[in-house]
Structure 1
Amino acid sequence: MLRSIAVLMLVAAALPAHARVDAVQAARLGQDLMPLGGERAGNAAGTIPSWEGGLSTPPAGYQPGMHHPDPYAGDTQLYRVDASNAAQYKAVLAPGYQKLLEKHPGYYLRVFPTRRSAAAPQRIYDATRYNATNAGLISGGNGIEGTAAGIPFPIPQSGQEAIWNHIARYRGDQVRMVTNQAAVLANGDYTLLKRDREILFIYGREGVTPADLDNTLFFYKYAVTAPSKLAGSSLVVQETLDQVLAIRKAWRFSRGERRVRRLPMLAYDAMQPDTNGMATADVVDAYNGAPDRYEWTLVGKQEMLMPYNSYAVHQKGTPYETILQKKSVNPDLLRYELHRVWVVEAHLRKGFSHPYATRRFYIDEDSWQILAVDLYDKSGAMVGLQEAHPISYYDVPMFGSTLETIYDFKGDRYYVDGLDNNEPMYDFNVKLNKTDFTAAALRREGI
């Protein structure tokens, strides 16, 4: 591990560095700041505890391949926020949640004690400490340099730096997962779409240097396996770090045509297939891709009620029909906690179009996972709320979403991705190779 960090330092030293903080500020990491940049101490009220290392080892009884048992199953609910008392909690409720409670009075937030469970491998902490004085933005903020692992800007000075922290956060070295998505219509109808998905991360891999990245963040592939009328279609994506310099490459295999086609654009406001028009390309993982079409503002840090430690909705065997209710995900399976979040606003630049002209992101200070997003159209009207319901995958360790939702307030409907309760659990040790993520591989596997 020390050798990989040393190599990283030598290679990055040859690059033009744009330090974001000085050595004195960087020394705070691992001291009054936790290793990824969050405040180590709790809040003055005692409602947010100090960070004590997070969940970095599995609890007793855990076996590899299990849907992660809830280490906080014994916690008692503190209170419930619903339409009748939302005004009382307005200071800690994002506008999107206020709107959700107003539109769907049957919805509620079950609030539990705050558990700061986010954790990552030590090498990610080491790389983040190095990045604090060496990583920089390039291409007008649309790429990063001087780093190959870790959070690029643990003490962010701008909205662009904060959003890059989310984009580049650690999500494992590789993963294979089988998940379902559903577009739940206003009448409650939906069809589950099952996908077998694989991701090979390049940024963040152990031993990778900036020279090894070749402008690549990760490789991604999925194959639709159900329903039968859609099964057989597949997609492969080569995700670039600087998408202005080189846009992401994507190819799709169509079962009907039995051929592979290069997709001209799979980014920004391009609609994802089979989402009933509710999910643009850039809402995957709460936000992905080039940030060049928005102006980014770092508003500051706030204490907010956010989805967190969502183990209940992750448990094996829970029927999907129990999770997917008519107007919303079943609130009895969701958990909310009070956390400090970085608030970042994104305003669409002139000359570009997108259903979301303004977005307000709430980014976890401990992990840089986006937890919620307020969505506004070009008239300034709030049109949606996006959520990521995260858990600590303590077997890695890695903190990330197990379920993602988008509520469409205009259409009175919602979209869900990540349903895995009746599928094999994520495999973070799967053997993957770059050659698995090419048009040729897609064609070969499709045939």
Structure 2
Amino acid sequence: MLRSIGVLLLTVCAFSAQAKVDPVQANRLNGDLTPLGGERKGNAAGTIPDWDGGLAQPIPSYKPGMHHPDPYANESVQYTVNSKNLAQYQAQLPLGLKTLLETNPDYYLRVFPTHRSAAAPQRIYDSTRYNATNAELISGGNGVQGAAAGIPFPIPQSGQEAIWNHVMRYRGEQIHFVTNQAAVLSNGAYNLLKLDRDIYFRYGREGITPGELDNTLFFYKYSVVAPAKLSGSALVVQETLDQVLSIRKAWRFNRGERRVRRLPMLAFDTLQPDTNGMATADMVDSYNGAPDRYDWKLVGKKEMLVPYNSYAVHQKGIPYETILQAKSINPELLRYELHRVWVVEASLRKGFSHPYAKRRFYLDEDSWQILAVDLYDKDDNLVGLQESHPISYYDVPMFGSTLETIYDFAGKRYFADGLDNNEMMYDFNAKLGPGDFTPQALRREGN
């Protein structure tokens, strides 16, 4: 009922389509801004370098199928941030990360030289340049028109535009991958859940036009591989672009029932299974889905210490028990760098419910990947932290997370997703199509 009222109000109050920029502003993408809208120049202190194109080609030691070798493996830690010297660096830390350091004396940040490694194919840069003068927010900001690939709003004018840049950023055209996730309890105990996953992107495909999108961003599917008692259960999602116009469609195959069921809702505050209550549906990929339950504010840009070039935790063969320590991911495997990020605040609208009444997002200026999120409850208490630990998948090229975490401060526990160290590396050339993401396909696979 509340959702229906909210949609009605949005319809009544819908503003006219916005936020093209004029050609003069758009030309900055060929000048002082990078092709995706970041600042080409580094900072005055020299601690953030100029953008030089990122890692747009595989490094010499890379061979197809490998876990991506670390191009910066020979670098030394510049300095460490911990609970003892926190005051010196707290202005550059997301508040959630500051809290994690304060409450966990054994945790620390290894800070390395900054490398602006994010890169994308030239056609994505070309599409982004087109979008700057053609893409528009519609339906009260809950949809985007005029774009079929690339960042829709490289010169953002609002928080909604910035979050759409994250949701619609380039992540390849299709991916097959196997990863593990774990809810790590306060005593360090956890059980691994292994998932076989496929994604087929419609938005961002080479040659696609806005008219061919059919209000679809991508198709997603997973099947449970382990543990044995859950093996065979599966899920298919058809992700819509404007989820107020048409909600995402999702079907689950339950191994015990041997049947496919349509899920009535898989969005917003719906709890994800097997996350011990730590993750809602809209926390996948740091944020996904319709933005209509929140008011969005573009706070501005800051220099922050954030996860970046996280190749060390990505390497093949690392035992998962080495990564998943009690209270936190093993800090010796993580890398932090100083980067400029867009800060966006989302405040829950009246009439809606969600465990997180406010979120503060930190978006990488070079890729629009969300790198960290401060999580607040209804009483404005900071209760959690999300982090995305990204790398440049330079064989695509594409910049995205290799590991994602959610920290629950009150429960002294965390959730980790993306553990792939002992699995085959992502296949960005998997033979997939829309027909692989239907309830019929799910039923065939289950049988």
Same fold (TM over 0.5): yes
2:322 is the counterpart of 1:335? no
Q: Is the 8 A contact 1:17 1:135 kept in 2?
A: no
SS of 1:165's equivalent in the other structure is: helix
Rounded to whole Å, the distance in 1 between the matches of 2:427 and 2:272 is 25
Residues of 1 paired with 2:141 and 2:416: CA distance?
Answer: 31
Q: Corresponding residue for 2:132?
A: 132
SS at match of 1:90: helix
The sequence identity of aligned pairs, in percent, is: 77
Which residue identity does 2:30 align to in structure 1? G
Q: Does the 8 A contact of 1:269 with 1:280 survive in 2?
A: yes
Matches within 5 A, 1:374-413: 374-413=374-413
Q: Helix, strand or coil for the counterpart of 1:305?
A: strand
Aligned-partner Cα distance in 1 for 2:117–2:75: 14
2:412 is the counterpart of 1:420: no
Whole-angstrom distance in 2 between the partners of 1:307 and 1:239 = 27
Corresponding residue of 2:238: 238
Structure 2 matches for 1:94-105, cutoff 5 A? Answer: 94-105=94-105
Deviations 1:345-376 (A, max 9, x none): 00000011111100000000000000000000
- Residue type of the alignment partner of 2:256: G
Deviation at 1:443, TM superposition (A): 0.6
Deviations 1:147-166 (A, max 9, x none): 00000000000000000000
- Distance in 2, Cα, partners of 1:98 & 1:206: 41
Aligned partner of residue 28 in structure 2, secondary structure: coil
Match of 1:302 in 2: 302
CA deviation vs aligned residue, 1:216-260 (integer Å, no higher than 9, x gap): 000000000000011110000000000000000000000010100
Note if 1:288 corresponds to 2:303: no
Q: Matched residue of 1:27: which SS?
A: helix
Shift of 1:90: 1.3
**Counterpart contact for 2:188–2:327, Cα < 8 Å:** yes
1:19 deviates by: 4.5
Structure 1: distance between partners of 2:186 and 2:354: 23
8 A contact 2:19–2:137 mirrored in 1: no
Equivalent-residue separation in structure 1 for 2:370 and 2:290 (angstroms): 16
Gaps of 5+ in 1: 1-15
Matched, 1:227 2:251: no
Contact 1:179 1:420 in 2 (8 A): yes
Tell me which residue corresponds to 2:5.
Answer: none
TM-score (norm 1): 0.96
Post-superposition shift, 1:93? 1.0
Aligned 8 A contact 1:17 1:146 in 2: no
The runs of at least 4 aligned residues of structure 1 exceeding 6 Å deviation read none
Gaps of 5+ in 2: 1-15
Kept after mapping to 1: 8 A contact 2:57/2:395: yes
C-alpha deviation, 1:17, in angstroms: 6.8
| 2:171 corresponds to 1:171 | yes
> Alignment length, in residue pairs?
432
Partners of 2:149 and 2:203 within 8 A in 1: yes
The two structures have a TM-score, normalised by structure 2, of 0.96
Aligned partner of residue 26 in structure 1, secondary structure: helix
Q: Distance in 2 between matches of 1:70 and 1:324?
A: 21
Partner of 2:88: 88
The answer for the alignment partner of 2:253 in structure 1 is 253
Match of 2:30 in 1: 30
Summarize the alignment of residues 179-194 of structure 1 with structure 2, pairs less than 5 Å apart. 179-194=179-194
CA offset at residue 74 of structure 1? 1.1
Tell me, yes or no, if the aligned pair for 2:360 and 2:374 is still in contact at 8 Å.
yes
